[in-house]
Structure 1
């Protein structure tokens, strides 16, 4: 088999003519000569739409970085204000699992004059600016790339009054409703009567500036859709080994719905706009340029704070739309619902002082705070309750984290490998490429073992039917 992806193929999936296409073609020629063409185009479409997800990929990182930097303003570096600064100490959880690139990025973040404290979670890996799985507390300043591109990316779990035994044998029904009420991928929208209604679209923040106002129409069209990449909607079985008094749920195994996605085009546009603004205002040295920050006392800082919270509310609304539609479709009653952001910043108190806590790919885990930490499409996820551990800045991991890069996954995992593992675990998959194969992820049990001092496990969720985007852009 010989792959023959051309420049015309790349242009057809949204690449622009110029150096990016040339670099992409060089990478394809040198590394993917024997990979299925459809899988490659799906991967490179994902790369175009979500370049930040490829910054830890040994083959595709150069192209991902070029794409991100091409979209940002070119600024002159200042003198290296951080050269003489010592990095503040920070805690690392699951240290043996974390790559050098993530640590290097965290070391730079800990040198910023605004930094108060930091921590790395056990699923951490290299990102853009702050590493994914990085937690950073700052003094009265917000870092747009410390929050990330997919602002308010979120987990949401609905637990139904349906015992496990009533799920099996009804696969066709659950699959039909899952396909009917979800849309995946960059740019996907609901049209006409399909469109959802939600009070978030009446949020006054949309009228705050012309920039916000121009985002309203696109946001409404995408309300209730999911992204590409590792975003999903899945049916599963959740097991409570004992009664949970807080949720008022008895010991048992119940049907549940779990979703993972963020603020769609709204969040991405906000992130891009304010990152450009931050880099123009806060000209940090080259190695720290992507940690450019905005003072919260400035007009720009206040604008971003409002925009970030709007995107977070919107992300939550998207999940609410999905959950309400699917709950109604299966005729269920919700016993409990739990949700949490994990690309966001919060005003919190640390060591008696107010700080801005950035959790870029990290789950809030304050004392008694509920959260969801997923595994993979065949590995369990966990409903957890935070312990309020100060050394982690009240945080925990946001998932298992990748064991294998996306390029390595499509080079080494076959479709038959993926089908076999899905069959072994009794999981039905709709969509998803080989780059999301279960074996591309770390062992969730090891990750959970590295954070026993951060969270208590309340229940275990086992995926049974998973829907993801095939390529982050379209589905037939």
Structure 2
């Protein structure tokens, strides 16, 4: 292949088992991440691995990985933010209907949705107004007592208070315009502290099991089908996935109300919801497998998904094409190209302000690690998944970021 030719994806990654295919140029994957993928491919229960173009190193397992296991599941292949994902809704507004200055709207969003480590005083106020959400929350909170993990009572209070809150890191709330000037409200969040607590509890438990003691890397320890340990993990994990979805639903409803107070002509329409750190029991190639997507979305035929970039690059709404070669998956975002510590070392608040020019958002040193330059090129990530040879998704719309709230 000449230097001017672009690879036709998927391609193998040298040094992995034949069960591993990737949708990115292997020479762009850093040494540490490539070594982690190779290690994952050698875990005995792994049937297939698919690597998305937003790939980067992750704790325990690679971010941007889709792992199909036979009769086993690895908690690290889901990650600590169980059920993390995206939600978006068309507001019925148009670009020309927005005020020229969105600062007051950003403050309104930040006032009603706690960010960072914060939560509500007791429970999200919207639950007193929305009976359907209230019923769902009551059911979810009640099922907390049925979790298998041995959790302190204080976790119940924290879990209730944080349901309907954003969190920190790369979690965000955005107001965006699409190709036709229509305005979308979008957010990215997961299962908050309770998801992390549950994940770490079960990871620690798995690492002590005898069948994992000889693994090359015990961070990829697994639970085996037919055991009480696996049943307990899946029970707790599915609860956390439901909690994460409820968390996003509460925030979306809260933000709709806040937007209506400023722009009462909003008329909310189509909603899109998708997990990108989760487990699903699926059949691929005629084999029943347990699929973990860590930094990847399901892209089954017709599935609508959201692939965000960064604070300055916007996002994409996509429709899955059901590509079995990818285990019906696609990327969850642009993916980081540098660590948070490296971004803070290289860039300043003034760099952040320059790279987010035109976006209503914080521009202080506290979120420099989320600077657009810390992320991969979103257009290249999308191009790798829409190429004619083996496409994963088709683009429905590109979203341009107008306002962004970070934790």
Distance 1:86 1:238 in 2: 40
> Post-superposition shift, 1:405?
2.4
1:265 is matched with which residue: 164, 188, 193? 193
Determine whether 1:402 maps to 2:339. no
What secondary structure sits across from 1:334 in the alignment? coil
1:374 is matched with which residue: 283, 308, 311? 308
Match of 1:146? 77
Cα distance, 1:210–1:93 mapped onto 2, change above 3 Å: closer
Match of 1:177? 108
2:46 is matched with which residue: 83, 91, 115? 115
Distance 1:196 1:143 in 2: 36
Determine whether 1:454 maps to 2:392. yes
Distance 2:144 2:349 in 1: 44
Cα distance, 1:462–1:415 mapped onto 2, change above 3 Å: same
Determine whether 1:422 maps to 2:350. no
1:324 is matched with which residue: 253, 259, 268? 253
> Post-superposition shift, 1:442?
1.1
Are 1:141 and 1:294, in contact at CA under 8 Å, matched by a contact in 2? Answer: yes
Cα distance, 1:193–1:362 mapped onto 2, change above 3 Å: closer
Query: C-alpha deviations, 1:187-237, integer Å up to 9, x for none?
Result: x12104755534134235323246477443221111101111111111111
Unaligned runs of 5+ in 2: 1-14, 128-133, 261-265
Q: Give the TM-score normalised by structure 2.
A: 0.86
Q: How does 1:123-134 map to 2 (within 5 A)?
A: 123-134=54-65
Unaligned runs of 5+ in 1: 1-84, 240-251, 470-476
Determine whether 1:294 maps to 2:223. yes
Match of 1:347? 281
Q: How does 1:10-25 map to 2 (within 5 A)?
A: none
Distance 2:331 2:123 in 1: 39
Match of 1:442? 376
1:238 is matched with which residue: 144, 169, 178? 178
Query: C-alpha deviations, 1:223-252, integer Å up to 9, x for none?
Result: 10111111111111122xxxxxxxxxxxx3
Distance 1:314 1:343 in 2: 13
Distance 1:100 1:160 in 2: 43
Match of 1:254? 182
What secondary structure sits across from 2:57 in the alignment? strand
What secondary structure sits across from 2:218 in the alignment? helix
Cα distance, 1:327–1:360 mapped onto 2, change above 3 Å: same
Distance 1:168 1:195 in 2: 27
Q: CA RMSD in A?
A: 2.0
Match of 2:21? 91
Match of 1:276? 204
What secondary structure sits across from 2:269 in the alignment? strand
- After TM superposition, where is structure 1 displaced by more than 4 Å over at least 4 residues in a row? 192-196
Distance 1:358 1:326 in 2: 30
Q: Give the TM-score normalised by structure 1.
A: 0.74
